[in-house]
């Protein structure tokens, strides 16, 4: 009987610890460079990796944390022909808008194409979020991407297979 009561106490204590651990949203870096390394799945319930919470209908604390994290200026290299470079340099504002430019450099010179629009973010789990961009510039189609937080200044883009870097 004493062993049974001890086990019930331990199970109850473990459940309380698990509940308090998942009650607070927290973004967690996905790991070092080279590609997405999702955070381990939460234990005892909480957010299921790979599945947006409520399909993104209700903004969660984790959504808010990722939004605060994303605000700022980010740069990513884009695919370009040999001898050329192409870089996207975009600033994300807290009001859900973005603006910036794609800068192409070739043997013939440099050209900058402005980009602007709105952005929406939905947390997938503690390390990953889906970012959807709706462009106001006619040459850019709307786009979505799964981004993995590597650290406070680095994201990994699943669509581009490139590292996105915060510009200080």
pLDDT over 60 at 50, yes or no: no
pLDDT over 50 at 67, yes or no: yes
pLDDT > 70 fraction of the chain, expressed in percent and rounded: 67
Q: Within 13 Å and on the Cβ side, how many CA atoms surround 129?
A: 29
> C-alpha distances in angstroms, 97 versus 69, 76, 80, 88, 160?
15, 18, 26, 16, 21
Q: In order of start, what are the domains of the chain with their CATH numbers?
A: 3-166 (2.40.128.360)
18-36: pLDDT as tens digits: 222 333 446 667 654 444 4
Dist CA 62 CA 85 (whole Å): 35
Model confidence band, residue 73 (pLDDT cutoffs 50, 70, 90) = very high
| pTM of the model as a whole | 0.69
Q: Looking at beta carbons, which pairs linking 23-26 to residues 24 or more positions away fall under 8 Å?
A: 24/61, 25/60, 25/61, 25/62, 25/64, 25/65, 25/123, 25/126, 26/62, 26/65, 26/126
């Amino acid at each position: 009987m004493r062993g049974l009561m001890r086990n019930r106490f331990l199970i109850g204590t473990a459940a309380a610890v698990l509940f308090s651990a998942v009650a607070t949203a927290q973004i967690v870096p996905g790991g070092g460079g080279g590609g997405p390394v999702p955070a381990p799945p939460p234990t005892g319930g909480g957010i299921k990796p790979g599945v947006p919470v409520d399909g993104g209908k209700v903004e969660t604390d984790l959504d808010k944390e990722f939004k605060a994290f994303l605000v700022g200026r980010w740069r990513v290299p884009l695919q370009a022909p040999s001898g050329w470079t192409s870089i996207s340099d975009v600033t994300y504002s807290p009001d859900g808008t973005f603006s910036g430019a794609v800068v192409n450099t070739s043997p013939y010179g440099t050209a900058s194409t402005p980009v602007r629009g709105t952005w929406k973010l939905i947390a997938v789990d503690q390390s990953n979020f889906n970012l959807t961009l709706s462009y106001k510039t006619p040459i850019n189609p709307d786009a979505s991407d799964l981004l993995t937080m590597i650290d406070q200044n680095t994201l990994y883009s699943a669509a581009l297979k490139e590292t996105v870097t915060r510009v200080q």
